[in-house]
Structure 1
Amino acid sequence: MHKTLLAGAVIAMFSGQAAAQSWVLTDTQGTEKGDWRIDSRQLKLSGEPFTLEQQVLHGGKQEGSKVLTLTSKNGLTIALSPTRGMDLLHVNGHGVRLGWDSPVDEVVNPAYINLESRNGLGWLEGFNEMMVRCGFEWTGHPVTKDGRIYTLHGKAGNTPASKVEVIVDDQAPHEIRIRGLLKENTFKKARLETWTELRYVPGADSFTLHDVLTNQADYPHDYEIIYHSNFSTPILEENARFLAPVKSVSPFNDYAKKGLENWQTYGAPTKDFDEMVFNLQPIADSNGKTVAAVVNSKGDKGAAIEFDTRQLPVLTMWKNTDTLKQGYVTGIEPGTNYAYPVTIEKEQGRVKQLQPGQSAEFTLTYSLLKDASAVQKVEERIKTLQGETKINVEQTPIAVE
């Protein structure tokens, strides 16, 4: 009797483990799939059809870069780069794009980027992603302190993944997980490792990012993270709107003061418009969850990000409504901190720390709002979260670089 129960438990355990198929595409132990492709038909999976394809790029500064694309016929097409920190290049679905047109028109291999060039602004030479992880060892504007250069937005976005794997659930609805391991390991400095994970159910209009950052060192270490999420046409246009439940808004610097009066609305592409940044303090529900969105002028297209303020307590809104060729874009940026240099963020108490062996998790859900109904649902949720709280519009930046 006991043997039968034990055998049943063992079978159940192994059955659970066999409920998904997985493929390792890259591993520092010697695995490199290069160009690779599978689809739901090959896997003999019913339900919403999908394709997963990795391509190795050639030519120019994208030589050797990899793009992994998940295509759902009736849902979203999501492209990410294992070479560039597992960051999202663009997302498309239902005639709506999440992403933007950067002057950087290649998926630049980090081997061709010097982060310390342009006085620490070298990061901009590869910046074209829909979502780039700014962090984890540090983030924010560049600064030099005690002879050390903290370059713009850290190193994660220009760190190739040490391991990449794809997992597809055998059972409906066949959730797909794309996982990548980022290592920020430097002798005598840091040993931070992050497992990134993108989760998507074919046919859905939303996907989730779940990252786990671990301090693998024997000493405590600081960390910062900003999920720099960027949107442009067809969502961004004249009279497009930014939506989020917030307690307060303040200008990042004196230049942004000029935009406080209409900080939640956008202009048409405008030559010589310099970037404006606003620091926001979001309002969350009883579970710490909140949502921010950008919607077009008609209110029938948009993008929304749900995040947990217990993990990512602050929100940055970036306006860069310059010309289309220069980069017409806005950013919704949940984070542990604002985009000031790490020295300022530490002084003001927003830099976090992990003890040896300790981990921090970050979960964000991105939704493509394909029609007026989807936009309305998000607007109603934001209005509910805002409630009777009046937004405190502060005239003075909280810090000066």
Structure 2
Amino acid sequence: MKKRILAGVILALISSQVAAKSWMLTDADTSTEKGDWQINSSQLKLGNEPFSIQQKVLHGGKQEGSKVITLTSKNGLTIMLSPTRGMDLLRVTGHGVRLGWDSPVNEVVNPAYMNLESRNGLGWLEGFNEMMVRCGFEWTGHPVTKDGVIYTLHGKAGNTPASKVEVIVDDKAPHEIRIRGLLKEHTFKKANLETWTELRYVPGSDSFTIHDVLTNKADYPHDYQIIYHSNFGTPILEENARFIAPLASVSPFNDYAKKGLDHWATYGAPTKDFDEMVFNLKPKADSNGKTVAAVINSKGDKGASIEFDTHQLPLLTMWKNTDTLKQGYVTGIEPGTNYAYPVTIEKEQGRVKQLQAGESTEFTLTYSLLKDAAAVSKVEQRVKDIQGNESIKVDEKPIAVE
């Protein structure tokens, strides 16, 4: 009798741990592809916050065959991501605020129609329009050629279709939704990296989390880099909008950025012929290694923030591209393992990390849409608390020259 009771308890514990429904939308191993697909909270007979999840296959132009998954929460956020484009986030909206930007690239370009080596390694720009794109993982940064190999702009992950895509919805409240994708960077004799990406969202929330696990599947050590290139335009970005983060130091990426060093943390209106300015930042963190960075509109009543772990992502890049609206009026908040210099420079200066054979590492970032002044004020206070009385060191000289 005792054995039967114990067995029942163990079975109940196991059942409670897997109390979720899941759907495999894509699986290269079994040639599974669901194509157009959808589910919602009513069909699942789940209470609390209503939500829907839809996958749609796009047609026409360079987006032919691209897939987009849209997660819609009635009282929270609408999140769009593309399994075709590295599980990257296309845009996020909620409460009349958008996280994302208006790129001249207005289609969800299928990587099959791109050549990353074109334009001397700048082909990546022919698909660049995401709210968040993963730059990495084999390498990232500006393009460079070494020993006959072209290291193209920001690596390949953002243009790698997912080999597996799975949607998971917890049965128990608050019914967290997870959308997972497997990215494979496999090249004979070169790399055998795999990344399980995961978007986590609780319906009704104004925040979501990205959790990625990178594994070196090879029998040899391998370098890796990652920059989470997170991009914001109107209505958050505008004249006198502000960037905030607790920082130890800031330096210009190059000589052009030196011209804007005196007002690097504020933004101008759309300006014709404004070339991009990039700033290398060293973030400060709390006692647990956590920090936050945000961009806030001029009135201080709208914004976007990113919380991340400096043990995983020790560096931060701020990208200002306040060109005209049609050209792409946008700023980037970019937590990473490194800066955006070519991989050769990053390796020389010791910012390229390495995974041993069979080793894994993880990255966790939480994005929040700041819908009002109260939400903005909360993040501002967090920045002040971490910054404390320490002033930000301003270095006028770039740390590297391309």
Q: In the aligned structure 2, how far is the partner of 1:44 from the partner of 1:199?
A: 20
Give the TM-score taking structure 2 as reference length.
0.99
Shift of 1:72: 0.1
Aligned residue type for 1:55:
K
Q: In the aligned structure 2, how far is the partner of 1:375 from the partner of 1:278?
A: 23
Alignment of 1:201-220 (within 5 A): 201-220=202-221
Shift of 1:13: 3.6
Match of 1:310 in 2: 311
Match of 2:165 in 1: 164
Match of 1:35 in 2: 36
Shift of 1:3: 1.0
Q: In the aligned structure 2, how far is the partner of 1:388 from the partner of 1:14?
A: 49
Of 16-25 and 211-220, the range deviating more from structure 2:
16-25
Q: In the aligned structure 1, how far is the partner of 2:18 from the partner of 2:382?
A: 39
Match of 2:20 in 1: 20
Shift of 1:232: 0.4
Aligned residue type for 2:350:
G
Q: In the aligned structure 2, how far is the partner of 1:305 from the partner of 1:64?
A: 31
Match of 2:76 in 1: 75
Query: Tell me, what secondary structure is at the counterpart of 1:83?
Result: helix
Aligned residue type for 2:319:
W
Q: In the aligned structure 1, how far is the partner of 2:145 from the partner of 2:16?
A: 51
Shift of 1:30: 1.6
Structure 2, unpaired ranges of 5+: none
Structure 1, unpaired ranges of 5+: none
Shift of 1:11: 1.8
Provide Cα deviations, 1:125-170, integer angstroms capped at 9, x if missing partner: 0000000000000000000001111000000000000000000000
Match of 1:191 in 2: 192
Query: Tell me, what secondary structure is at the counterpart of 1:90?
Result: strand
Shift of 1:324: 0.1
Match of 1:282 in 2: 283
Of 364-373 and 385-394, the range deviating more from structure 2:
385-394
Aligned residue type for 2:54:
E
Q: In the aligned structure 1, how far is the partner of 2:18 from the partner of 2:226?
A: 34
Alignment of 1:343-354 (within 5 A): 343-354=344-355
Match of 2:155 in 1: 154
Match of 2:385 in 1: 384
Matched, 1:138 2:139: yes
Q: In the aligned structure 2, how far is the partner of 1:59 from the partner of 1:387?
A: 53
Aligned residue type for 1:329:
V
Q: In the aligned structure 1, how far is the partner of 2:389 from the partner of 2:148?
A: 49
Aligned residue type for 1:8:
G
Match of 2:10 in 1: 10
Provide Cα deviations, 1:286-306, integer angstroms capped at 9, x if missing partner: 100000000000000000000
Q: In the aligned structure 1, how far is the partner of 2:119 from the partner of 2:348?
A: 26
Shift of 1:10: 3.3
Matched, 1:127 2:98: no
Q: In the aligned structure 1, how far is the partner of 2:5 from the partner of 2:117?
A: 62
Alignment of 1:249-260 (within 5 A): 249-260=250-261
Match of 2:180 in 1: 179
Provide Cα deviations, 1:347-384, integer angstroms capped at 9, x if missing partner: 00000000001001000000000000000000000011
Match of 2:86 in 1: 85
Shift of 1:4: 2.4
Give the TM-score taking structure 1 as reference length.
0.99
Shift of 1:12: 1.6
Alignment of 1:283-302 (within 5 A): 283-302=284-303
Alignment of 1:217-256 (within 5 A): 217-256=218-257
Aligned residue type for 1:389:
E
Query: Tell me, what secondary structure is at the counterpart of 1:317?
Result: strand
